[in-house]
């Protein structure tokens, strides 16, 4: 029995057919385009947040004990008391605080970041971390592969030569391939001796220098914490370190025994990501919004709410909650800004206030509710943070911290322009079309 013709023979036979018997080039192109569109559509659906499918109904206010009693177990991170919290505004405040804390390290330093770019700020961190590593402190640094693309080879070598364990998340060795290249660690966390922690939206790059006085420098908020909540922060880092190296960070060098109350603040730190705590950031944000009774203030660099997020915010407006959203007047991503604008229409129509920050590039990720709840961390208000990336956030239940957050928010409003609904609707037709087109890709932003 004759064997079937090989693939190359079949291709040659196909090419030799009369033109009328072959599909037209136009048909081949259309089939190919439709196939690509179908694959992209499936990919966008697959990577969209969809575990939480119904709008949460929260019968208790955010300041009631029952709110913390429910949210803590749901996120796998109970609220603890006895914490101290200090909000730090812009690089002039948080860089000196972080470097000073690093210089005081005696046992361990754990640092995870998304972006690390060579430059002045990078040199200051490398010098501080290297000095401690040479003194015998265990220094572990974990970065994202894409986020570290602008960290020079010689800077990486300087750290490793000093004894710093510098690794790329998900790749302990250079030859290893991370299976899901769309999954990134977007976390920003620094923990020193298991007792002092920092988180927020800041990365290690020169654009975070100074006091956000121009568009070349970014407006950012970090938070410095002490107390029992730092153990949760350390555990978030340890999770990704374990996933990358298979090594468990354990013992008093990383998780020291409690040293007594550092303050009177009630707080929790939770992790979110597809590998652990799936959609925890989304659950936390939506539950807090659903518990709002008076006010919601959101300051976020990438505000791209999905359909359920819009529904949750509209329900808050129906309860009479005042909602103020602070977004960049000029975003570092025009595509992302257009996708964000595609989601504003219904919210503006319902009375949600949008303010465009104009002094610098706004990069904060902060939400305040009812003058009692503050959430700050690495999480953007978009699908990428809610479903695709690894994130970390600190939730604070403390009126004093909320007042400080409001003061910062209101100061930012003074450097912002309020967007009127009429002005938004007057966008040109081409801008509206572009916004809608970019909005189709919002699950990846």
Q: What is the pLDDT of residues 257-272, one digit of tens each?
A: 988 888 999 999 999 9
Reduce the DSSP state of residue 416 to 3 states and report it.
Answer: strand
Burial class (CB in 10 A: 0-12, 13-18, 19+), 303: buried
Is 205 contained in some domain?
A: yes
H and E: helices and strands count for the chain: 15, 17
**If pLDDT is split at 50, 70 and 90, which confidence band does 395 have?**
very high
Is 418 contained in some domain?
A: yes
- Residue 173: CATH number of its domain: 3.30.870.10
- pLDDT at residue 29 is higher than 90: no
**If pLDDT is split at 50, 70 and 90, which confidence band does 250 have?**
very high
Range of the domain at 173: 65-444
Is 408 contained in some domain?
A: yes
- pLDDT at residue 48 is higher than 90: no
- pLDDT at residue 152 is higher than 90: yes
Query: What's the domain count of the chain?
Result: 1
Parallel, antiparallel, or unpaired: how do β-strands 189-192 and 165-168 relate?
A: unpaired
Is 329 contained in some domain?
A: yes
- pLDDT at residue 22 is higher than 80: no
**If pLDDT is split at 50, 70 and 90, which confidence band does 220 have?**
very high
Q: What burial letters (b/e) apply to 368-401, b meaning 16+ CB within 10 Å?
A: bbbbbbbbbbbbbbbbbbbbbbbbbbbbbbbeeb
Whole-number pLDDT of residue 318: 98
- High-pLDDT (> 90) share of the chain, %: 77
- Other Cβ atoms within 10 Å of 157 Cβ, number: 11
Please give the structure tokens belonging to residue 197: 């922690």
Is 48 contained in some domain?
A: no
**If pLDDT is split at 50, 70 and 90, which confidence band does 123 have?**
very high
**If pLDDT is split at 50, 70 and 90, which confidence band does 18 have?**
low
Backbone angles phi, psi at 100, to 5 degrees: -65, -40
- pLDDT at residue 10 is higher than 90: no
- If one compares 366 and 53, the residue with the highest pLDDT of the two is 366
Q: How far is the C-alpha of 172 from the C-alpha of 241, rounded, in Å?
A: 10
Is 285 contained in some domain?
A: yes
Closest by CA to 169, choosing from 156, 184, 153, is: 184
Of 28-37, 223-232, 319-328, where does mean pLDDT reach its minimum?
28-37
Please give the structure tokens belonging to residue 140: 């572990």
Please give the mean pLDDT across all residues of the chain. Answer: 92
| Averaged pLDDT for residues 244-256 | 97
Question: CA gyration radius for the chain?
Answer: 24
Whole-number pLDDT of residue 4: 58
Q: How far is the C-alpha of 95 from the C-alpha of 213, rounded, in Å?
A: 16
Whole-number pLDDT of residue 2: 55
pLDDT for 267-310, tens place per residue? Answer: 999 999 997 889 999 999 999 999 999 999 999 999 999 999 99
Is 360 contained in some domain?
A: yes
Whole-number pLDDT of residue 133: 98
Q: How far is the C-alpha of 253 from the C-alpha of 138, rounded, in Å?
A: 9
Closest by CA to 223, choosing from 330, 97, 120, 85, is: 85
Is 279 contained in some domain?
A: yes
Indicate the pTM of the whole model.
0.89
């Amino acid at each position: 029995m004759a064997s079937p013709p090989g693939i190359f023979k079949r291709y040659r036979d196909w090419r030799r057919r009369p033109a009328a018997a072959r599909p037209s080039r136009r048909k081949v192109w259309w089939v190919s385009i439709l196939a690509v569109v179908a694959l992209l559509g499936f990919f966008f659906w697959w990577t969209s947040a969809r575990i939480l499918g119904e709008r949460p109904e929260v019968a208790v206010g955010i300041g009631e004990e029952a709110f913390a009693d429910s949210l803590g177990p749901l996120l796998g991170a109970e609220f603890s008391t006895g914490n101290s919290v200090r909000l730090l505004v812009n690089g002039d405040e948080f860089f000196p605080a972080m470097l000073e804390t690093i210089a005081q390290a005696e046992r361990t330093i754990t640092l995870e970041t998304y972006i690390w770019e060579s430059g002045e700020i990078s040199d200051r961190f490398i010098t501080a971390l290297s000095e401690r590593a040479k003194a015998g402190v265990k220094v572990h640094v974990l970065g994202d592969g894409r986020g570290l693309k602008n960290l020079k080879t010689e800077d990486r070598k300087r750290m490793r030569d000093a004894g710093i364990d510098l690794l790329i998340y998900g790749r302990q060795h250079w030859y290893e391939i991370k299976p899901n290249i769309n999954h990134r660690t977007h976390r920003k966390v620094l923990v020193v001796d298991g007792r002092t922690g920092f988180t927020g939206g800041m990365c290690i790059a020169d654009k975070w220098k100074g006091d956000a006085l121009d568009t070349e420098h970014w407006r950012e908020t970090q938070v410095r914490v002490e107390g029992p909540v730092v153990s949760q922060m350390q555990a978030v880092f340890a999770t990704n370190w374990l996933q990358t190296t298979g090594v468990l960070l354990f013992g008093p060098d990383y998780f020291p025994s409690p040293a007594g109350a550092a303050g009177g603040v009630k707080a929790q730190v939770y992790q979110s990501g597809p590998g652990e705590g799936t959609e925890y950031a989304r659950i936390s944000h939506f539950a807090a919004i659903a518990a709002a009774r008076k006010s919601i203030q959101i300051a976020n660099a990438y505000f791209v709410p999905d359909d359920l997020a819009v529904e949750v915010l509209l329900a808050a407006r129906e309860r009479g909650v005042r909602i103020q959203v602070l977004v960049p007047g000029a975003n570092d991503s025009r595509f992302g800004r257009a996708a964000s604008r595609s989601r504003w229409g219904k919210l503006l129509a319902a009375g949600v206030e949008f303010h465009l920050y104009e002094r610098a590039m706004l990069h904060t990720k902060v939400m305040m509710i009812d003058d009692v709840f503050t959430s700050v961390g690495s999480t953007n208000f978009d699908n990428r943070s809610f479903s695709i990336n690894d994130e970390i956030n600190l939730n604070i239940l403390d009126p004093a911290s909320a007042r400080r957050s409001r003061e910062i928010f209101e100061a930012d409003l003074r450097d912002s322009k309020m967007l009127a609904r009429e002005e938004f609707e007057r966008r040109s037709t081409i801008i509206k079309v572009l916004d809608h087109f970019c909005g189709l890709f919002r699950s990846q932003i």
